[in-house]
Chain A
Amino acid sequence: DVKVTQSSRYLVKRTGEKVFLECVQDMDHENMFWYRQDPGLGLRLIYFSYDVKMKEKGDIPEGYSVSREKKERFSLILESASTNQTSMYLCASSTGFSNQPQHFGDGTRLSIL
């Protein structure tokens, strides 16, 4: 089974802090994704990566950056956290084949005070 592990289930940070969310997958997947989930809005794509050091902006990249130094690890960075970034953050991974689904981690519920 594919395992996608997010480092924290719950995180509380203060406005202006630099925040790191970590995600690791164990299936040698090429693609990795960061989404945020808000009530009534479903999941929205922040960034994704299709290879080491390669990244592309998603639908809502403002206020975020990402890092992929190793194939198994994809980090989401909030450069200067703001209260409107309080949300559930979900990481996913998939192979490079178009017919394969994405597999998700358990999510990180982030609160910015």
Chain B
Amino acid sequence: LAKTTQPISMDSYEGQEVNITCSHNNIATNDYITWYQQFPSQGPRFIIQGYKTKVTNEVASLFIPADRKSSTLSLPRVSLSDTAVYYCLVGETGGFKTIFGAGTRLFVKA
């Protein structure tokens, strides 16, 4: 399983776009990149998953450069309710062990 590195914390203001970058230098050919969101006292919630280029859903966008050694989760126009911990995971879909790192604590201010 590829090791990931994320910033420990980030601050933002309501209405801003937030970009959280994750480094995964030893990503393997079959690995996918997945992001989860976790609020205090709750289980993580799947946000988005991608393999290359760009993926967008109703919640976020995921940008993956050609070398796939990093990825960026983009949250458009954040609100106070986006304050949470965001986890980047890299592994083979079909692999059964999900490893969560320490994540990035995003704090959105009014």
Are the chains A and B members of one assembly?
no
Residues of A at the B interface (CB closer than 8 Å) are: none
Residues of B at the A interface (CB closer than 8 Å) are: none
